[in-house]
């Protein structure tokens, strides 16, 4: 029999466990429900943890524990191997009562009128248990603060809340901010390699991948950056999100750049939404400037610093700002840095690069934030979810296919984010205009118009 100690209960409630994660040699049947790990169908097999149906993502393994050769799922193997001969389990014992807090919100900042309106509607969505609600807020609108009153209401009602986001960097940035706003509420942050692993707190902040570990767990599911890679490309993630939600739950979507499906649903009035067209500091979004250069591709091929970039650099509006340069590949990020360092005309002391495979990535992002790095060359890993107070932004080779419309809008949204420096230059350096560039600029201007700017 399971120890009904509250902590033990909370540790397993709402989880989907591998056999080895169930902490009993003999699994108590009353408390854990067994489901097959891989379902064999006539036409395809399906992993019951991640939903994978692609035959190429199943491996065959001679198994030491059952002495047979059988399937395992390669798609979700990073979260522990799902073996065909071992069941999955979810806790089916007494569901824990989550705390109903009296006044959990310890944040006492002010919301702007636009934020207030969004926050008000979010509260209504939670109060009335709407199924879905989308907040379309421009980059720098201050969407985290807009969530506070909705989360507060959820906690008052004793609900369990998950904030899911595609990127570990964003989980790390969100955790202290949410914790600061709800100082007495236990919050855990889950991502690959996180210190906290248990996932037993009333508020969970997690990468969407970590949701594979949950089963009918959350009353309120907040999905940040719903449009972001890889949620819209990878069927695993919607599968995991759906299973992690309780049957009667409210799902909140946040986005600055909604994708077609959601825009269509909004247009057809099939999805309740609110629109926040103005940044929290009340200034318009910086509109990117296009700079055309025929020699760009050639210069970048040899990792030379493009002349058009140097020309802009000499004449920029405010040379106190740090510079964030986006490039399409890791190779270019690393190599262009050496050229920038060698160029004596570049007025920056500390120049560095960062990308997804950089082991010091967290450290470098922090250093840039503390102004210990003046010029940072990055791949798209910094396109969203990060805030630096005073930067100009340059995209080298903005015509490259990695820079789609949403990416370019998000990248432009890195400039002018603080009230102290609410503007910033955004330069798209290219050797031929693309649809993505034109659409991104059009969208940004449209948002500014909606926000009441000319």
Closest CB to Zn ion among residues 85, 402: 85
Q: Does 235 bind Zn ion (CB under 5 A)?
A: no
Q: Does 37 bind Zn ion (CB under 5 A)?
A: no
Which of 8, 27, 85, 272 binds Zn ion (CB under 5 A)? It is: 85
Closest CB to Zn ion among residues 84, 219: 84
Closest CB to Zn ion among residues 75, 322: 75
The radius of gyration of the chain's CA atoms, rounded to the nearest angstrom, is 24
Least distance between Zn ion and beta carbon 17 (Å): 14
CB 19 within 8 A of CB 89: yes
Least distance between Zn ion and beta carbon 49 (Å): 5
Q: Does 66 bind Zn ion (CB under 5 A)?
A: yes
Q: Does 79 bind Zn ion (CB under 5 A)?
A: no
Whole-angstrom Cα distance, residue 436 to residue 367? 31
Whole-angstrom Cα distance, residue 221 to residue 246? 9
Least distance between Zn ion and beta carbon 23 (Å): 21
Can you say how many angstroms the Cα of residue 181 is from the centroid of all Cα atoms in its chain? Answer: 20
CB under 5 A: which stretch of 75-83, 98-106, 188-196, 245-253 binds Zn ion? Answer: 75-83
Binding mask 334-373 for Zn ion (x = CB under 5 A): ----------------------------------------
CB 148 within 8 A of CB 161: no
Whole-angstrom Cα distance, residue 129 to residue 219? 9
Least distance between Zn ion and beta carbon 18 (Å): 11
Could you say which residues in the range 270-329 bind Zn ion, by CB under 5 A? none
Residues binding Zn ion: what is the number (CB under 5 A)? Answer: 11
Q: Which helix (H) or strand (E) holds 436?
A: helix 435-450
* Residues 6 or more apart whose Cβ sits within 8 Å of residue 15: 21, 90, 91, 199, 213, 214, 215, 217
Which of 13, 16, 17, 73 binds Zn ion (CB under 5 A)? It is: 73
DSSP string, 154-221: HHHTT--EEEEES-HHHHHHHHHHHHHHSTTS-EEEE-TT-S-----SSEEEEEGGGGGGBSS-EEEE
What is the contact surface with Zn ion in residues (CB under 5 A)?
47, 49-50, 52, 63, 66, 73, 75-76, 82, 85
């Amino acid at each position: 029999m399971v120890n009904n100690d509250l902590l033990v209960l909370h540790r397993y409630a709402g989880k989907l466990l591998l056999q080895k994660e169930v902490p009993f040699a003999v699994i108590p049947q009353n408390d854990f429900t067994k489901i097959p790990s891989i379902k064999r169908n006539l036409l395809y097999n399906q992993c019951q943890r991640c939903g994978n149906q692609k035959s190429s993502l199943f491996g065959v393994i001679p198994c030491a524990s059952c002495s047979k050769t059988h399937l395992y799922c390669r798609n979700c193997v990073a979260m522990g191997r799902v073996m065909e001969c071992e069941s999955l389990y979810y806790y089916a014992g007494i569901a824990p009562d989550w705390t109903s807090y009296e006044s959990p919100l310890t944040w006492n900042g002010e919301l702007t009128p636009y934020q207030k309106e969004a926050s008000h509607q979010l509260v209504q969505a939670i109060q009335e248990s709407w199924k879905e609600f989308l907040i379309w807020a421009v980059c720098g609108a201050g969407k985290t603060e807009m969530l506070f009153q909705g989360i507060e209401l959820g906690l008052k009602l004793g609900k369990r809340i998950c904030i899911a986001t595609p990127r570990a960097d964003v989980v790390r940035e969100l955790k202290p901010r949410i914790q600061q706003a709800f100082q007495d509420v236990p919050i855990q942050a889950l991502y690959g390699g996180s210190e906290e692993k248990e996932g037993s707190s009333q508020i969970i902040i997690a990468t969407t991948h970590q949701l594979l570990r949950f089963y009918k767990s959350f009353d309120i599911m907040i999905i940040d950056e719903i449009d972001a890679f890889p949620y819209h490309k990878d069927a695993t993630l919607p599968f995991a999100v759906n299973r992690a939600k309780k049957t009667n739950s409210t799902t909140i979507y946040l986005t600055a750049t909604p994708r077609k499906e959601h825009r269509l649903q909004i247009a057809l009035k099939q999805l309740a939404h609110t629109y926040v067209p103005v940044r929290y500091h009340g200034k318009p979004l910086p509109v990117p400037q296009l700079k055309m250069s025929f020699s760009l591709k050639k210069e970048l091929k040899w990792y030379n610093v493009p002349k058009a970039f140097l020309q802009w650099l000499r004449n920029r509006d405010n040379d106190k700002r740090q510079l964030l340069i986006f490039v399409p590949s890791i190779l270019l990020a690393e190599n262009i840095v050496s050229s920038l360092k060698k160029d004596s005309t570049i007025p920056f002391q500390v120049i560095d690069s960062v990308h997804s495979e950089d082991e010091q990535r967290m450290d470098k992002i922090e250093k840039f934030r503390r102004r210990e790095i003046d010029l940072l060359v990055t791949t798209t890993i910094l396109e969203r979810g990060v805030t630096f107070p005073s930067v100009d932004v340059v995209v080298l080779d903005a015509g490259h296919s990695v820079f789609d419309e949403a990416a370019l809008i998000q990248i432009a949204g890195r400039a002018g984010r603080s009230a102290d420096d609410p503007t910033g230059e955004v330069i798209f350096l290219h050797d031929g205009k693309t649809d993505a560039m034109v659409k991104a600029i059009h969208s940004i201007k449209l948002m500014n118009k909606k926000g009441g700017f000319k």
